[in-house]
Amino acid sequence: MDLAYTEQQDAFRAEVRAWLEQNVPAEPLPSFDTEEGFRLHRDWERKLNEGRFGMVTWPEALGGRGCDLIEWLIFEEEYYRAGAPARVNQNGIFLLGPTLMEYGTEAQKARFLPKMATGEEIWAQGWSEPNAGSDMAAIRSKAVRDGDHYVISGQKTWSTRAVWADWTFGIFRTDPESSRHRGLTFILVPLDAPGVTVRPIPQLDGLPGFAEIFFDEVRVPVENRLGEEGMGWNVAMATAGFERGLMLRSPARFQETARRLVQLYRDNRAAADIDPTVREAVMRAWMDAEAYTLNTYMTASRLIKGGKIGAESSTNKIFWSELDQQMHETALSILGARAELKPHSVGAEGVGRWLDGFLFSQAGPIYAGTNEIQRNIIAERMLGMPRA
Amino acid sequence: MDFTFSDDQLAFHDSVKGFLTNEVTPEAIRDLWQRDGGRSDELWGQLAELGLTAMTVPEQYGGLGLDALDFVLLAQECGYAALPEPLVETVMVAVPLLAGLADEHRQLQEHWLSRVASGEARLAVGHPSNPLVADAHIADLLLLCHGDEIHAVPAQQVQLRASESVDPSRRLFAVDWTPSDATRVAGGESGRRLQAEALDHGALACAAQQLGLANRMIDIAVDYSFERKQFGSAVGSFQAVKHLMANVAVKAEFSRAVLYRAAFAAARGQANAAIAASHAKIVATEAALLAARNGIQVHGAMGYTWEVDLHIFMKRAWALDGAWGTRGFHKARVGDFVFADGAPLGAGATFEAR
Ligand SMILES: Cc1cc2nc3c(=O)[nH]c(=O)nc-3n(C[C@H](O)[C@H](O)[C@H](O)COP(=O)(O)OP(=O)(O)OC[C@H]3O[C@@H](n4cnc5c(N)ncnc54)[C@H](O)[C@@H]3O)c2cc1C
């Protein structure tokens, strides 16, 4: 064990920091759940890629830097420290990208990864359906083989950023006789294909951050299948593994939130201390963000040495999502009677972005597998408790 | 940057775990409770034979010259086993305290540390954060704080009054003694520093045991959840029961890296060692206390009995909660750090520069 960065790692950090200082927009971009914001975030992805900072863990041939997970963590730390824009293509680069590298053919990798890296193609994920939420194996949307095409019909929902995205990936039932986890196939679908209809769904903040996707006999070439026919569940689980495991929420994000929370508390101390529990909650935010960081470094080190992510990764999802809720609740309680005010509205000086963050933190325990589902997984697969 | 243990550390951990599993069983612990003094010379001898009492003794005194990072996994296992013998405090607190005295005490160090390493002598520490002294009755030499000073007092020069803990494995004593120039081994600035380090080491020692205890209570409750059937099913198949245990698993999982970082910081004498130890003590204790609360719930009335082994571990967790600084003390320290001007917070601030 050696909990200090190497000179090489320090140099990498300095390089990232310098580049971000030069390039991060001075003013925060508008939300990527608006048309303009989406376009600006797409532009940002291209710029990042030009600096070869789009996906640092990817191989150099694909515009990456072949970084290991520790360097990825360093990159993320600098990224959040610099207040750089949110990653509009995170479904692509963090989830589908690694899955493609594991299951994709060479032709698929060459076709999809470079455009993913530049932001030219932004990805939405299509797992959930109206009747397949937590119970994802209840998927009914079907893909019927017709020569060298699949013909897709059905409906996906809650698909994040699908309103302006270019592609979606998801699993579809290719074997009509099958049920549950069998007979599903992982397919990549262009959202501009004839027969696709995307209907925006406004989220808590009123913006269309996700969408329903309707498929009416959409023809997709067989080359767009990832992995074998009927093996879609396994491929999807690998993707969900990346999501829960490490890449979806890097610790830097929560460390920065905790730092801002400490600052908010210090700036409003007299009012905040009227509730004696606030100080402890702020301190705990720091402790938990620190614990999450340490844990992630430990996991990253283990993976670098050839370890695998197991069911214990379900503890991550619970930990960060509840931490995020707790931090934002605490922030709002410090802001007191002004907490309800939208930024830029009358009387809202100094409320910052806490309200938006609070709203979004309510989704954390729901998406990427609800926390109840994660607790089931922990109990049954990590602790080995009896199945229901 | 490498956050893994070495193969040597892991191998030693495995062998000690094996020993503790076989020798320090709940039956053996109950057997010790029946004995006068609650301790076993034979068991201490075995621990010494494994090299455990020599771990942190400097090589020049016949020890292995290892540190808190080498011992932390073992300390966790001692917690998992609820080992009654004071091995963890000896290795992590008493030996470093004695070894940390100024050079003028070389003779004293040589005399005692070589005997601790070989298992012939035992130490106990009296520190202001603990109202009583643990295991004073088996100590040959007591390291006792007095104001800023530290005194090394042979067993013959103290009088003991036994107390009683909720944990029958704990043996606590009020120590009556008279400080003198002959017994004083540190004072002033160095006395304060050694006392502060002892506190951090003690907190770390507790944290490691608490995490081991949490894991043990999870294992016991999970086993029970298979055995006990109600409504025609194992109670562990009920989701409410599962989630009780999953919540403990989350807490335990997220105190592990905090604990290991604290051990690393202590071993390297880093500036953040005190805060890291406090953080570890807080979160590992919380994991153990939740494991106790949820563990007893999973057991139903069985968990409320003397007969079921769970209480061996719950009581150790409850007892260690207040030892080497209460949670209030440690939270206050973390708070002072977090709320200080210019505190190193935020992304990228976790690890100290080399
Ligand atoms: C902001 C946001 C973004 C999202 N983005 C996407 C996306 O891009 N692509 C996509 O495919 N999906 C997306 N989702 C959908 C998300 O994956 C689902 O919401 C999630 O899987 C839960 O399904 P559900 O909403 O149908 O809840 P339900 O499954 O209906 O659950 C309702 C409640 O019942 C509980 N419950 C259900 N089953 C069990 C069980 N077996 N044991 C215990 N409790 C149970 C749940 O925990 C929850 O509390 C997104 C959701 C949100 C909120």
CATH number at residue A298: 1.20.140.10
Residue ranges of chain A with per-residue pLDDT less than 50: none
The shortest CB-CB distance from B254 to any of A74, A319, A374 is to: A319
Q: Which of A169, A198, A231 is the last residue of a domain?
A: A231
- Would B158 be classed as within a structural domain? no
| Tens digits of residue pLDDT in A262-318 | 999 999 999 999 999 999 999 999 999 999 999 999 999 999 999 888 888 889 999
- Would A196 be classed as within a structural domain? yes
Question: Could you tell me if A217 and A141 lie in one domain?
Answer: yes
**CB–CB of B346 and A81 under 8 A?**
yes
- Would B108 be classed as within a structural domain? no
Q: Which of A33, A134, A171, A372 to mutate to test the pocket of ligand 1 (most atoms within 8 A of CB)?
A: A134
Cβ contact B185:B105 at 8 Å = yes
Question: Could you tell me if A129 and A224 lie in one domain?
Answer: yes
The shortest CB-CB distance from A383 to any of B2, B245, B335 is to: B245
Position A239 scores a pLDDT of 76
Q: Is A22 exposed, middle or buried (0-12, 13-18, 19+ CB in 10 A)?
A: exposed
Side-chain half-sphere CA neighbours of B38 within 13 A: 20
Task: Inform me whether the C-beta atom of residue A24 falls under 8 Å from chain B C-beta atoms.
Answer: no
> What is the interface pTM, i.e. ipTM, of the complex?
0.96
Cβ contact B191:B266 at 8 Å = no
The shortest CB-CB distance from A379 to any of B245, B349, B352 is to: B245
CA angle (B206, A282, A246) in 5-degree steps: 75
CA angle (A129, A211, A47) in 5-degree steps: 125
Position B346 scores a pLDDT of 97
The shortest CB-CB distance from B222 to any of A315, A375, A385 is to: A385
Distance between B239 CA and the closest CA of chain A, angstroms: 7
Position A312 scores a pLDDT of 82
CA nearest A252 in B: which residue? B347
Task: Inform me whether the C-beta atom of residue A386 falls under 8 Å from chain B C-beta atoms.
Answer: yes
**CB–CB of B253 and A295 under 8 A?**
yes
- Would B92 be classed as within a structural domain? no
Taking the CA of residue A127 as reference, the ligand 1 atom at the shortest distance is 11
Task: Tell whether ligand 1 has an atom less than 6 A from the beta carbon of residue A34.
Answer: no
d(CA A213, CA B78): 56
CA-based diameter of chain B, in Å?
71
- Would B245 be classed as within a structural domain? yes
Q: Which of A158, A189, A377 to mutate to test the pocket of ligand 1 (most atoms within 8 A of CB)?
A: A158
Which residue among the candidates A45, A78, A121, A243 is catalytic per the annotation?
A: A243
The total number of structural domains that make up chain A: 3
| Chain B residues within an 8 Å CB radius of A276 | none
Distance between A385 CA and the closest CA of chain B, angstroms: 6
The shortest CB-CB distance from B5 to any of A1, A78, A386 is to: A1
Report the amino acid identity of residue B135: D
| Chain B residues within an 8 Å CB radius of A71 | none
| Chain A residues within an 8 Å CB radius of B253 | 295, 312, 315, 319
Which pair of tokens denotes residue B216? 């043990």
Report the amino acid identity of residue B264: F
The question of whether A177 is a catalytic residue gets the answer no
Question: Could you tell me if A166 and A67 lie in one domain?
Answer: no
Domain that holds residue B225: 190-339
Q: How far is the CA of A128 from the centre of ligand 1 (A)?
A: 8
- Would A281 be classed as within a structural domain? yes
In sequence order, which ranges of chain B are alpha helices (DSSP H)?
Answer: 7-23, 26-34, 41-49, 68-81, 87-89, 95-99, 106-118, 188-227, 239-267, 273-299, 310-321, 327-338
| Tens digits of residue pLDDT in A231-240 | 999 999 887 7
Task: Tell whether ligand 1 has an atom less than 6 A from the beta carbon of residue A160.
Answer: yes
CATH number at residue B234: 1.20.140.10
**CB–CB of A286 and B345 under 8 A?**
yes
Position A62 scores a pLDDT of 85
Question: Could you tell me if A258 and A366 lie in one domain?
Answer: yes
**CB–CB of B237 and A279 under 8 A?**
no
Q: How far is the CA of B161 from the centre of ligand 1 (A)?
A: 60
Task: Inform me whether the C-beta atom of residue B343 falls under 8 Å from chain A C-beta atoms.
Answer: yes
| Chain A residues within an 8 Å CB radius of B264 | 1, 3
The total number of structural domains that make up chain B: 1
DSSP assignment string, B226-240: HH-EETTEEGGGSHH
- Would B42 be classed as within a structural domain? no
Question: Could you tell me if A143 and A223 lie in one domain?
Answer: yes
Q: How far is the CA of A136 from the centre of ligand 1 (A)?
A: 9
Which pair of tokens denotes residue A221? 């070439």
Domain that holds residue A329: 249-382
CATH number at residue A196: 2.40.110.10
Cβ contact A249:A87 at 8 Å = no
- Would A115 be classed as within a structural domain? no
Task: Inform me whether the C-beta atom of residue B338 falls under 8 Å from chain A C-beta atoms.
Answer: yes
**CB–CB of A283 and B334 under 8 A?**
yes
| Chain A residues within an 8 Å CB radius of B218 | 383
- Would A388 be classed as within a structural domain? no
Position A308 scores a pLDDT of 84
Question: Could you tell me if A128 and A187 lie in one domain?
Answer: yes
- Would B350 be classed as within a structural domain? no
Question: Could you tell me if A176 and A276 lie in one domain?
Answer: no
Residues written for chain A: 388
Q: How far is the CA of A237 from the centre of ligand 1 (A)?
A: 16
Place of tokens 């994040």: A160
Task: Inform me whether the C-beta atom of residue A78 falls under 8 Å from chain B C-beta atoms.
Answer: yes
Distance between B181 CA and the closest CA of chain A, angstroms: 42
Q: How many CB atoms lie within 10 A of CB B268?
A: 18
Q: Which of A231, A262, A295 is the last residue of a domain?
A: A231
Question: Could you tell me if A176 and A266 lie in one domain?
Answer: no
Taking the CA of residue A161 as reference, the ligand 1 atom at the shortest distance is 8
- Would A308 be classed as within a structural domain? yes
Question: Could you tell me if A226 and A303 lie in one domain?
Answer: no
**Percent of chain B residues topping a pLDDT of 90:** 99
Distance between A163 CA and the closest CA of chain B, angstroms: 32
Question: Could you tell me if A335 and A258 lie in one domain?
Answer: yes
- Would A94 be classed as within a structural domain? no
pLDDT tens over chain B, length 354 residues: 999 999 999 999 999 999 999 999 999 999 999 999 999 999 999 999 999 999 999 999 999 999 999 999 999 999 999 999 999 999 999 999 999 999 999 999 999 999 999 999 999 999 999 999 999 999 999 999 999 999 999 999 999 999 999 999 999 999 999 999 999 999 999 999 999 999 999 999 999 999 999 999 999 999 999 999 999 999 999 999 999 999 999 999 999 999 999 999 999 999 999 999 999 999 999 999 999 999 999 999 999 999 999 999 999 999 999 999 999 999 999 999 999 999 999 999 999 887
Q: Which residues of A33-66 are buried (b: 16+ CB within 10 A; e: fewer)?
A: bbeebbebbbebbebbbeeebbbbbbeeebbbbe
Task: Inform me whether the C-beta atom of residue A381 falls under 8 Å from chain B C-beta atoms.
Answer: no
- Would A369 be classed as within a structural domain? yes
